[in-house]
Structures are given as C-alpha cells and as structure tokens.
Structure 1
C-alpha cells in the first residue's frame, strides 16, 4: 500500500527524494509514518504543526557554487579581520591620540567574537539559518562602516566590539550551514576547503594591513571588507536554500536561553578581561585582575547550573559531554587551537607564509581523504604525531638557525595542523543526532576560541617573564637603558622589530640570543599541549560516515505527540 505524506497543516504534501531523510524540529512536532516512492516501510519523519516539512532537494551546481562562494567570502572577511588590523594598531593609536586604547582595538573584537558565537547558533536553531546569517552579515557591514569612520578611540573600540559580535556569528554559522547542506561524507570536502580561508586570511591579513596603512590609510583595512561582505550577502540572499521555520517572534523570544546567555557573557567578559589586563594594564596580583578572574570563574558555575536545570533550549547542552568520544573530540580541538595560536605570533610575516600554505594544502587533502574513504581516526593519529614532532623540533631553534631549517620544521608542523582541523569536528558530529549539529558546532567553536585566548595570554606571560630576566645581560652588552626597557618591558614582543635598528653587530647578536632563549618556554608549553593531542586522540571512537543527506528542519521543538486516528498510530 502506498500512502502520501501530507503536511499536518494541510497545505502541501511532503516531497520525498530518494537517498534523503527529514529531521524535523518544529513546534508541536508529531510522528507520521511515511511510505511511498524513495522511502522504506516503517520510516518516520517528524512533521511540525506550524511549518511545512520538506526534504533535501538536489542542488544545482550553479546554486551550490553560488552558496559556497558566499559562505567562503563570509568566513574570509571574519577571519581576515582578526589579522589585518594588527599591523595598523600603532598608526591608529597615534592618529586617534590614544595610547591607552592600543590593546582594546583587537581585544574588543576577540572578546565579543568569542562570547556571541553560541548565541547566534541558538538563534539560528529557533528562527532559521538563513535569516540569522543574513542578519549577521548585515550587522557586520554596518559595524565595518562605523569602524572606518571612527573619529575617536572610544568610537572605534565600540565599533570593533559590534563587529566582533557579528563576526562570531559569521564564523560558526558558516560551519553549521555547510553541515546542514551535505551528508557526513560530502561535507568533509567543503569543511576542508573552509580551512583554506583561514590560511589565506592568516597569510594575507598582516600584509594587506601594512600596505593600506602605509600607502593609503588605516581606514581602508575596514573599507576593503565592504564589497566582500556585500557580495556574500547578495549570494546568500539569492541562492541559500535552507528550511525557514517562520517561528513567531514571541514564542521564539521565549525560547531563547536568556539566563545562559547572560551568565556566559559574565564568564567570558570577566575571565578574558582579567587575563587581558594581567601583566599589562594591571599587575597580576592587583585586586582588579584577581576579582575579575575569581568572579568570572564563579559565573561558570552559574552558567552550568542554568544549562542543566533552567534552560529548556540550552545554548550548550551538557549531554554532549556524556560520551567519552565527544569529550575527546572537544579536547582535541582545544589542544589544537592552543598550539596553533600559541606558536603563530612568534613567526614573522615572511616565515609564517610556508606554515600557512602547508596547513591549507593539508586541510584540503584531509577533506578529500575523508570524503573518499569515510575514515578520520587514522588522520587524527597521524596528525597528532606530526604536530607533536613539529612543535618539538621548534625547541631546536636558536638565534643562528637557518631559514631552510625553520621552513622544514614548519612543513612538518603544518601538515599535522592541517590534518587536525577537520577530523575532531567530523568525529563529534558523527556521534550526535542531526538536530544537535548547531549546538555541537558552536560548543566546539567556543572551546577552541577559549583555547586561542588562553594560548595568547599564557604565551605572553611565559615570554615576558623570560625576556625580563635578560635585562641585566642586555645592559652589560652596552645597550642604552631606554632600549633595554623597550626590549624587556611589557611590550617586548611588539618591539621585536627594534632589533634590526641596532648598529652594533655584537649587541644585535646578544639581543637575538635573549629573544631566542625566551621563546624556549613557549615551545616547551606548546610541546606539552601537543602531547595532549596524542593522548586525547586515542579516546575518539570510530563511527560510520553516512552518504545520506538529512535536511535539518529548524524551529522550536516541543514534546512529541502521538496522534490516534481510527485506532492507528500515525
């Protein structure tokens, strides 16, 4: 017997495509047995009372290329913004006459970016992916204009914070939408390509920032994003074809995890501010830093209580952490981003190019291998070992290391880093139900962002403490007290370029040796974290990667109801 699957609202039938499944998460969802062309007897699809369930349709090549181009452009501008501003900060501070705002130009963006990402994902789960990502792109466009036209440091910092709020949504939503569009096997190919955007942004950002600052104006580091973000908005608006739940505004607002959002803002703002202030704006032992870190840590318990007991639709469902393999994948992501973020600032623009290139190529190769073979555990094992080897070899570097040696070590570490960009995410998603893709992706991204922030802060503390111990050696070499202060003070890492201004060759060698020895502590820390990669990778479990695409039907999911009709459960 063949039965048509009819929408509960009676508006239109549910079109079924062979090889596709429907996962509905709508208001008052009900289970309805479906049999017909392309389905198997006994297959159930959840059908929402307030929306029309649809299956994944076959995307045309033109539409797929257009959508992926828009998503690539969206991720690129968000990633570029994290690197293009760094080289322009001294010029911006001088023009706006505010040295005090030096650290906040980048800090405001990172803080807002990290905090806002999970909230954007939950909004997309409630109101739909398309409207939310378009809102994020639009907000980014407006915030970029405000940054480019800023007349004071306060205006620029506020605009950068707004830009960070939008950027946090752009990054995570791109990954979620790609995961929504393709099956587990197919999405691996596109997720690998996304990592190339990070590599390109990381390699070109500082160069473009320096070029615009020196040749045109620092304001062009923001203006350059407008045509890219405008193009991505148009492409996504015209071609992105994902389910729109049309969730009513009031029920949608009620479904937001307000307590979790507020407590997360408290955790991230206080912890990151405390870590950012420590050793720079205020001493680590100052009451300001101690209070920020302590109260930020206490707010973490408030957040966990809210997610466990209060939230009906939590930002970060804690049941993700119930499975050992899931925890291992999240820990892998933490260690990976800690190591990559901890080492990246230590390499100059020219020397970072081979690392970025190799990492990008390795990430693409990883996506192709997973796409063709469906295997990801072996890539985790090999990538972890190569990354441990590469980071360990960085400990051999000295002030006299040759460029070929440095590049050779970067190739080893870069291959390992590229192999580990994607598999932890694939392993996590493979062990979770379809409707958990959004929250699991945002959780992984959140943990990786925390790792990056901690790596930068901890690396700065380790380097600063070490270089400060060489002050007496530099003075004994005959360097002026003012120059020694610049090279060993709180901004020592930012003043590394001053080494080339030293005319005396012997003094220059002494300074280089001091910096090289001070980096040893960071290399040792990163090597220890890379060892954590190897250990955590052993706990990731294998799961079959399906080639069947399941379309995620977003919306508000309530308790399932069983409908009785003529004595038959449907």
Structure 2
C-alpha cells in the first residue's frame, strides 16, 4: 500500500551490514520476515533533540482528538437509559455496538488510506466525519436516525485513533516515544475516567443530546490544528493509481467478518439462545471469514492490508494478543461498575460517575508513568508484567463485592485494577513495534488499533450477555414480570429499583451484585490470557529513528 510494500512482498531474507563506526551502522532490508533480529540491529543513535513549538501544536491536536472521541464514546454508557427512554429504544445495546462496528470496520482501511493518500487528508476527513456523526446523533428523533449517527461517528473515531498513532510514530522515534505515547494514553484514560460524570450530569438534566453536539466544535478545533501544522509528505500519484493500491477484497472481507461476529455476540444469550441458528451462523461465518482473510493476505493480496510478516515473530504477536485482551477488562470496568453503583447503592448517574474516580485517577497517571519508565529504562517487559498482575488481583477483589460492601472498599479495588490497566495500556505498544522495521509502522499500528477497537465491542456483548443471563437467573419473577420479553434488564431495571418496597429492593440489589460477580470472574479469566501471552515477549532494543519516507522534520521544524 506504499512504496515499501512491493519490497515487503518480494524479499525473502534480511541482510545486515555493519560499519566500524556504530553511528554509521545500516540496516538493509531485502524482506521483512520482520523477525526479532531486525530490532537488535538498530544503532543507539543520538538522543532526542529539543522539540519545536510546531511539534507541540501537532501533539496537542492528537491529544484533543483522542480525548473528545473517547469522552463521547465512553460517556454514552451512562446516558443509555435516558436515551432509550426518550427515543423508546428497547434494544439499546445497539447504541454502543453500531459505533464499535463502524469504528472497527474502518480501522484497517484507515491505516491503508494514510499510506496511500497521506496522513493529513485522512486525519482531517476522520475528524469531519466524526463531527457530522455527532450532529446526526444529537438531532436524532428515533432509533434509526440515532443508529445512523452513531455509525457515522464510529467511522470517524476509527480514523482518529489510527491516524493519531501513525502520526506520532512519524514524529518521534520508538525509543523516545514512551512519554508522548503516555500522553495519548493519558488523554484516553482521563476522558474515559470523567466520561461517566459528564454523561451522568447530562442524563440527570435531560440534556443527553449535548453529549453529541459538543463534539462538533472540539473536533473543529483539532481539525484546524491538523490543517495548519501537520506537514507530513503526501505520496505522489493520481487518484486512479492510488485507488488501485487499496486492498478492496481484504477490506470487505474483514469488515463483513468482524460485523458478523459482533452481531452474533450481541444476540447470543439476549435475543436468542447461544444454540440458535441466528447466533451460530453469523458467529461461524465471521470466524471462517477472518481465517479466509488471513489466507488471502498471505497468498494473493498484491497490496496486503495486513502483511502476514507482521505476525511472524513472537514478540509482536504477544503484543497483539495483549492488545486484544486488555480492552475487554478496561471497557468492562467503565461500563459495569456504574451498573453496580446505580443498582446496588442507588447512586444517581452523576454519583456513579464520581464513584469511578478511583479508576480515572489511576489509569491516566499510571499510563504516563509506564511511558516514563520505558523511556528511561528502555525496557517494556517489567511494567507490562507488573500491570497484568495488578489487573488479575483487581478483578479478583471486584468479584467479592456485595450489595452492602462499603464504598471505600470498592474504590480501593478500583485503584488496584486501574493501576494495572494504566501500566499495561501504554506499554503493549512497544513489543508490537520493537521487532519491526520503521517502514512497517503504519500497517502494524493499523492492526494494533483494529484489535484494540474490535475487542472493545466485546464488553458490550460478552459482559452484557453474561450479566443479562445472570440477572434472568437471579432476579425475582415478581420484579422481572413487569418488563417485556427480551428487554435488557441491566439498564431497564435500574431506574425502578429505588422505588421498590424495601424487601424487594434488597432482593433485587443482591441479585445484581451476584450477577456482576460472575462478570468480574469472566473478565479475570480473559485477563489471565493476556498475562500468559506477555510471558512470550523478548526484550528488544527500541528504534532510534523514524521512517524517512515520512520525513517529519519539516512538519515540526518551526
């Protein structure tokens, strides 16, 4: 998909040439098998120079973009009951799922378009699309219009996430990137942390539409910075030649397959039994489609969307597996702790958001701490291992919560889990990129963001399915009989709990606590997979240079 892509396909070996002066050592790639020895050949290089003012403006545009996209996406969880009530939406899990589907589907294509058309045009287009989706969602008068707006927003968000990481990789060598990547992580985690409060406040005042409207001016501000200060090169070539470089078959295959899987996971155990054909057929077709996609990319794609060589070393593969896993407990924490506080503690949407500060004020700073640690020590494995350990402990503690557990304990458990997530969140980026040549940054990061976003749909499906099934099992029939069949009990029931007679209220709250215990245990098992995958990483040197094709010197030279 770029000038290096034919070389990636035709080459068959890696040739290293070393000069006596280590500062003049070179790395000649005839192919990338993209093995781990590539990273070991990197010279130390000079230390990072003082950054120009333009660099900080570009970085600000990336931070603001990540912040607003994450804030809007996460705050929706707290306003779901209000939106569903106002617009009479029964299956409001689709408010989040349509967004995730669109975001996930766009990510691989967004990375490819950035290679073909350049970083700035694709980033600008993503911000404009995101703002348009916000306008449509804010003006929605029914579920069809809302789902359309959320889909448009998801497309824009997918582009913002991918391009932010790619642009940063063009500006800063991997060895210096820890702190700056930590700042992007800080933007994400800070937004995710305050989002429940913002969403709760808008829900309580009946102003949920402003959650979508506020994205328009902020996205516009970020787009202005991108327009004037991101000066990365634009690849040459006419429109036809560029369109011919897009892996259309690969894109449509991965879009269709991921959509089928998310739909099956959304329906399973909620609308239909897991054994129903309406669940099994799309689930099986989705996984078969993903297998076919990988086979096509490996054997026939002229400009592969995902060069299969990215997966040929254990360190990068370990990073990808951890990326896929980490989003599940991260999003699950943000989505289901408010359920605990609102159902078991009768907390208002705003109060439940404040109760999540234990998460917000640990994930965000710990993601920066991990970036600083990696920048100083040049080692990424210790913060990852320690972080996964805290994630496992935190989930184990959350599974002990009861309806009458003190708030102090629940917040303390959050702090442990949030610290672990923060350490891992900004660290798993490095084992993905360390073994690869810098020319592979864009496709590697596109796949990295695809896996992260794809797995973010799982908390709404896996967690939602587990919670729904457990609530059906544990809630008293005298309570559930008031809801139509197929109603998602987690959100539909919460507004009615505080008005129940005390004995029934206690019974319902205990049922919620017991059901959420199972959710935390499932997330503990999933997190253990991430910890296991981390054991296969090798400790490799970090790159000291950026991709010269995307010479960023001019972009931040003033």
Matches within 5 A, 1:5-44: 25=4
Contact 1:385–1:534 under 8 Å retained in 2: yes
In structure 2, the CA distance between the partners of 1:527 and 1:236, relative to structure 1 (3 Å rule), is same
1:268 Cα deviation (Å)? 1.4
1:489 Cα deviation (Å)? 5.8
In structure 2, the CA distance between the partners of 1:489 and 1:149, relative to structure 1 (3 Å rule), is closer
3-state DSSP of counterpart to 1:420 = helix
In structure 2, the CA distance between the partners of 1:420 and 1:27, relative to structure 1 (3 Å rule), is closer
CA deviation profile, 1:330-389 (whole Å, cap 9, x unmatched): 112222222222333221223221112111111111111111221111111211112112
Matches within 5 A, 1:386-465: 386-465=390-469
In structure 2, the CA distance between the partners of 1:41 and 1:512, relative to structure 1 (3 Å rule), is closer
Q: 2:510 pairs with 505, 508, 513, which one?
A: 513
Q: 1:236 pairs with 211, 222, 226, which one?
A: 226
Count of aligned positions: 506
The residue that corresponds to 1:88 in the other structure is 79
TM-score of the superposed pair, with normalisation by structure 1? 0.82
Matches within 5 A, 1:485-500: 485=483, 490-500=488-498
In structure 2, the CA distance between the partners of 1:346 and 1:264, relative to structure 1 (3 Å rule), is same
Higher helix share: 2
Q: 1:543 pairs with 540, 543, 557, which one?
A: 540
Unaligned 5+ residue runs, structure 1? 1-22, 30-37, 47-56, 555-570
Q: Measure the CA separation in 1 of the matches of 2:66 and 2:260.
A: 27
Contact 2:132–2:216 under 8 Å retained in 1: no
Runs of 4+ in 1 over 6 A off after TM superposition: 26-29, 38-42
Answer yes or no: is 1:305 the counterpart of 2:291: no
1:421 Cα deviation (Å)? 0.6
Answer yes or no: is 1:134 the counterpart of 2:124: yes
Contact 1:499–1:508 under 8 Å retained in 2: yes
The residue that corresponds to 2:371 in the other structure is 367
Contact 1:24–1:553 under 8 Å retained in 2: no
In structure 2, the CA distance between the partners of 1:283 and 1:408, relative to structure 1 (3 Å rule), is same
- Of 282-291 and 351-360, deviating more is 282-291
Q: 1:162 pairs with 152, 157, 161, which one?
A: 152
Answer yes or no: is 1:384 the counterpart of 2:384: no
Q: Measure the CA separation in 2 of the matches of 1:460 and 1:216.
A: 25
In structure 2, the CA distance between the partners of 1:238 and 1:526, relative to structure 1 (3 Å rule), is same
Contact 2:134–2:215 under 8 Å retained in 1: yes
Bigger-Rg structure (1/2): 1
- Of 181-190 and 545-554, deviating more is 545-554
1:141 Cα deviation (Å)? 2.3
3-state DSSP of counterpart to 1:400 = coil
1:486 Cα deviation (Å)? 8.2
Q: 2:58 pairs with 61, 67, 84, which one?
A: 67
1:261 Cα deviation (Å)? 0.7
Answer yes or no: is 1:119 the counterpart of 2:109: yes
Answer yes or no: is 1:529 the counterpart of 2:520: no
In structure 2, the CA distance between the partners of 1:552 and 1:542, relative to structure 1 (3 Å rule), is farther
Unaligned 5+ residue runs, structure 2? 9-20, 30-47, 339-352, 552-558
The residue that corresponds to 1:107 in the other structure is 97
CA deviation profile, 1:171-197 (whole Å, cap 9, x unmatched): 111111112210112211111111122
1:239 Cα deviation (Å)? 0.9
Q: Measure the CA separation in 2 of the matches of 1:214 and 1:259.
A: 46
In structure 2, the CA distance between the partners of 1:27 and 1:546, relative to structure 1 (3 Å rule), is closer
Contact 2:358–2:414 under 8 Å retained in 1: yes
Answer yes or no: is 1:200 the counterpart of 2:190: yes
Contact 1:245–1:553 under 8 Å retained in 2: no
3-state DSSP of counterpart to 2:505 = helix
Q: Measure the CA separation in 2 of the matches of 1:124 and 1:406.
A: 43
TM-score of the superposed pair, with normalisation by structure 2? 0.84
In structure 2, the CA distance between the partners of 1:44 and 1:284, relative to structure 1 (3 Å rule), is closer
Q: Measure the CA separation in 2 of the matches of 1:94 and 1:344.
A: 22
Q: Measure the CA separation in 1 of the matches of 2:206 and 2:359.
A: 29
